[in-house]
């Protein structure tokens, strides 16, 4: 199975900050990498697919980059509604696997 490792596990930030989360795959997944946002008690939300394609309706302050084994999710200017957990997922090979998640908390 492909292992997905996210860092950091959590981070504290303020509104307006630039936030960067990384995800590393245990093998080359080309750009088959998705990012999701999850708030407690809510349905997870697809933000980015194929590493850098913004899902329809997602604000442009979210962006993704990377290929191969190393990927990054960037939130350009953190908004109050962005405090949540973010997780990556590889869609290269079954079983589909996920990172542990990164919790973005209020500083």
Partner 1 sequence: QVQLVQSGAEVKKPGASVKVSCKASGYTFTTYYMHWLRQAPGQGLEWMGKINPSGGSADYAQKFQGRVSMTRDTTTSTIYMEMRSLRSEDSAVYFCAREGVGLPAATFDYWGQGTLVTVSS
| Contact residues: partner 1, CB under 8 A | 4, 32, 34, 36, 41-46, 49-50, 55, 87, 89, 91, 94-101
Question: Which residue, 3 or 12, has its beta carbon nearer to partner 1?
Answer: 3
Cβ 58 to partner 1, closest distance in Å? 11
Q: Among residues 55 and 63, whose Cβ is nearest to partner 1?
A: 55
Instruction: Pick the closer one to partner 1 by CB: 47 or 75.
Output: 47
% helix, strand, coil for the chain, step of 5: 5, 50, 50
Rounded distance, CA 34 to CA 59, Å?
16
Cβ nearer to partner 1, comparing 17 with 22: 22
Least spacing, CB of residue 91 vs partner 1, in Å: 4
Whether 60 and 52 have beta carbons less than 8 Å apart is answered as: no
Q: Which residues of 77-99 are buried (b: 16+ CB within 10 A; e: fewer)?
A: ebeeebebbbbbbbebeeeebeb
């Amino acid at each position: 199975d492909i292992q997905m490792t996210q860092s950091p596990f959590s981070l504290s930030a303020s509104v307006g900050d630039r936030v960067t989360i990384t995800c590393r795959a245990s093998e080359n997944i080309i750009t088959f990498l998705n990012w999701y946002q999850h708030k407690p008690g809510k349905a997870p939300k697809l933000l980015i697919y194929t590493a850098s394609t913004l899902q329809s309706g997602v604000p442009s302050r979210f962006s993704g980059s990377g290929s191969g084994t190393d990927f990054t999710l960037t939130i350009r200017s953190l908004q109050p509604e962005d405090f949540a957990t973010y997780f990556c997922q590889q869609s290269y090979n079954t079983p589909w696997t996920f990172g542990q998640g990164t919790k973005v908390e209020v500083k």
